[in-house]
């Protein structure tokens, strides 16, 4: 890389680190910037600076223009803007966020942050993270999965949205005879974005002692329509599809941050937060990398993809897949 590339890398990397502090809504910040005669052109310039070879279009003065754009935007309404997971116009909000947080600058990968605000409600993370614990020896066992389903059915909104995604995920298309995967995934995202973890986590992670229960859990909460296909695609392909979509890219970035493993941590999670990892995991359901239990005999989870044909990118592919299959932070929760 030439000196210009190194300079631009450090310049924008610095901007990305500083830009995370304020936490205002990106939609509001975007509207404010677009109506400001100084902010709007600076944002367009920065997009060219970070969009591959876009800086080439800026001509000989690119270095100065990029520096000025970064400096101006750090004091603009876009400084530190964030989005709420599941918010109305979420994709629009995320498009504004990622315009300032590109992951690849002149071929260099940055560690991506994620754009979501912290959940406002203080969930009982200890309880949610331990719901898969087996009953104490000698006690009469209960069917936690059945209890979770009953609890959801008693709550009007939980029952309504669960019925919607079950219907969307089993109804065959008149043209293909198969379910509409896009419609199924949309309904799943709506369910997990709008229903509190008190219900969704009980359904997702309830313990099973026999294969019939495990298969029912696997097919009920994440239907095969949203998850499986006739053949497993490459995980690299699924990652590329995910990163091309603002919502999926954001959910993946959050998952990789909140579920980052650390052997030295008491609970296996670098961030030390069971609940945050569980919430990040559920945020992936309904995306191109929807995770699910891989069979009905274990608690192993993974997206429906393979690294068998990844060639010289095998390490990158394996790193992605092992975030699900060999992640001490996640495994201790399941």
pLDDT 10s per residue in the chain (334 long)?
A: 454 454 444 444 444 444 433 458 899 998 888 888 888 888 888 777 766 555 566 666 677 777 777 777 777 778 778 999 989 899 999 988 887 765 333 333 334 567 888 764 445 444 444 444 443 333 445 788 888 889 999 999 999 999 999 999 887 766 666 788 899 999 999 999 999 988 998 888 888 888 888 888 888 778 888 888 888 999 999 999 999 999 999 999 999 999 999 888 877 888 888 788 889 999 999 999 999 998 888 888 999 999 998 888 999 999 999 999 999 888 766 6
Q: What is the pTM of this model?
A: 0.79
Task: Give pLDDT, residue 56.
Answer: 60
Task: Give pLDDT, residue 51.
Answer: 63
On whether the 125-333 domain is CATH 2.60.40.10, my answer is no
CATH tag, 3-105: 1.10.220.110
Task: Give pLDDT, residue 282.
Answer: 93
Task: Give pLDDT, residue 119.
Answer: 61
For residue 325, what are the contacts with CB-CB under 8 A and spacing of at least 6?
Answer: 300, 301, 302
Task: Give pLDDT, residue 273.
Answer: 82
Per residue, what are the HEC states of the chain?
CCHHHHHHHHHHHHHHHHCCCCCCEHHHHHHHHHCCCCHHHHHHHHHHHHCCCHHHHHHHHHHHHHHHHHHHHCCCCCCCCEECCCCCCHHHHHHHHHHCCCCEECCEECCCCCCECCCCCCCCHHHHHCCCCCCCCCCCCCCHHHHHHHHHHHCHHHHHHHHHHHHHHHCECCCCCCECHHHHHHHHHHHHHHCCHHHHHHHHHCCCCCHHHHHHHHHHHCCHHHHCCCCCCEHHHHHHHHHCCHHHHHHHHHHHHHCCECCCCCCCECCCCHHHHHHHHHCCCCCCCCEEECCCCCCCEEECCECCCCHHHHHHHHHHHHHHHCCHHHHCCC
Domain coordinates in residue numbering, the chain: 3-105, 125-333
């Amino acid at each position: 890389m030439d000196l210009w590339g190194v300079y631009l890398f450090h310049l924008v990397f610095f901007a990305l680190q500083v830009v995370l502090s304020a936490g205002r809504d990106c939609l509001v910040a975007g509207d404010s910037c677009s109506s400001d005669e100084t902010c709007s052109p600076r944002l367009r310039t920065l997009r060219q600076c970070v969009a591959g070879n876009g800086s080439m279009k800026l001509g000989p003065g690119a270095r100065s223009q990029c520096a000025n754009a970064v400096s101006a935007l750090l004091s603009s309404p876009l400084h530190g803007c964030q989005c709420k997971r599941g918010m109305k116009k979420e994709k629009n909000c995320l498009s504004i966020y990622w315009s300032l947080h590109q992951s690849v600058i002149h071929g260099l990968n940055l560690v991506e942050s994620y754009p979501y605000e912290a959940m406002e409600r203080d969930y009982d993370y200890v309880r949610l993270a331990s719901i898969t614990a087996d009953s104490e020896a000698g006690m009469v066992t209960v069917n936690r999965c059945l209890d979770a389903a009953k609890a959801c059915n008693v709550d009007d909104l939980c029952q309504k949205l669960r019925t919607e995604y079950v219907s969307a995920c089993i109804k065959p298309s008149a043209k293909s005879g198969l379910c509409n995967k896009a419609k199924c995934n949309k309904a799943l995202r709506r369910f997990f974005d709008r229903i509190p973890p008190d219900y969704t986590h009980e359904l997702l992670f309830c313990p099973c002692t026999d294969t019939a229960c495990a298969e029912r859990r696997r097919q009920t909460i994440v239907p095969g329509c949203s998850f499986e296909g006739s053949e497993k695609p490459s995980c690299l392909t699924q990652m590329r599809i995910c990163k091309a979509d603002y919502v999926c890219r954001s959910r993946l970035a959050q998952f990789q941050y909140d579920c980052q493993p650390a052997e030295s941590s008491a609970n296996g999670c670098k961030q030390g937060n069971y609940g945050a990892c569980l919430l990040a995991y559920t945020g992936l359901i309904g995306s191109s990398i929807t995770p699910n239990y891989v069979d009905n005999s274990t608690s192993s989870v993974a997206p429906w993809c393979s690294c068998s044909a990844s060639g010289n990118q095998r390490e990158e592919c394996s790193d992605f897949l092992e975030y699900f299959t060999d992640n001490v932070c996640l495994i201790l929760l399941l």
